[in-house]
Amino acid sequence: MILGVNVDHVATVREARKENEPDPVIAAKMAIKGGADGITVHLREDRRHINDRDLDRVRRNVKKVELNLEMAATSEMVTIALKIRPDMVTLVPEKRAELTTEGGLDLVKSGRKVKKAIDTIQHRGIPVSLFINPAIKDINISKKLGAAMVEVHTGLYANAKGKKQTAELNRVKKAVRRGTDIGLQVNAGHGLTFTNVKKIASIKGIRALYIGHSIVANSIYLGMEKAVKEMKRLIER
């Protein structure tokens, strides 16, 4: 199981003052030094944190680990992905008013648009992952659309408590099992922290965990390198 570190919120802090620091590229380098197996950036349509220059610089500086570009399935973003050529693309839903991604793709409503993006990107040799809710239906549709991977949304698990959290954990497990059974590579992420990552990391079949906010938050106290090392230690346990 590999760890992809999302450095978006380093840029969020930068944009609060519209300054040049903190620099997400430097944060990415430090995360790799701490053991990150990949770096993730989400280029939003409104460029609220990561911008085009960041993406270009991250691509030029992240070579030995996986670069995962999160983006909406729009023609603008597909063009950017084909130009930048990340190691993989994760298609995510995007709303201007949301603070963070609120749920998985609605593959019934947006299936045609998503399939067009998948076909265009994967035709150029870049594997596409779909960010989906932990539902068997979404797993099955992802396979039909031709995606190479899915990323199972763990946000409901992360926000739940007690019996409800156990139920959400079981939904994630079933989704992962179904995905691997039908030949998808299965990733997971969203809302994972130092305190709740272990149960997700114990699920067999997950290829990668994508974690950002918690690592960036704890790096304020620990430093990026130590924060990544600690998350890696918990996943490996």
The per-residue pLDDT for range 61-114, each reduced to its tens digit, is 999 999 999 999 999 999 999 999 999 999 999 766 555 566 899 999 999 999
Give the closest residue to 191 by CA, choosing from 219, 164, 225, 154. Answer: 154
Q: Classify residue 192 by its DSSP letter.
A: -
Q: Which of 9, 42, 49, 153 is catalytic?
A: 42
pLDDT at 179: 98
pTM score, two decimals?
0.92
State phi, psi for 207 to the nearest 5 degrees: -75, -45
pLDDT tens column, 41-64: 999 999 999 999 999 999 999 999
- Concerning whether 42 is annotated as a catalytic residue, the answer is yes
Name the strand (E) or helix (H) holding 40.
Answer: strand 38-42
Q: Which of 9, 49, 70, 151 is catalytic?
A: 70
- Specify the higher pLDDT residue, 95 or 130: 130
Residue 37 near residue 65, CB atoms below 8 Å: yes
- Concerning whether 76 is annotated as a catalytic residue, the answer is no
Q: Which of 9, 49, 153, 190 is catalytic?
A: 190
**Which tokens belong to 8?**
């978006």
- Concerning whether 190 is annotated as a catalytic residue, the answer is yes
Using CB atoms within 10 A of its CB, is residue 82 exposed (0-12), middle (13-18) or buried (19+)?
middle
**What CATH number does residue 217 fall under?**
3.20.20.70
The domain total for the chain is: 1
Structural domain for 8, as ranges:
2-236
Q: Classify residue 73 by its DSSP letter.
A: S
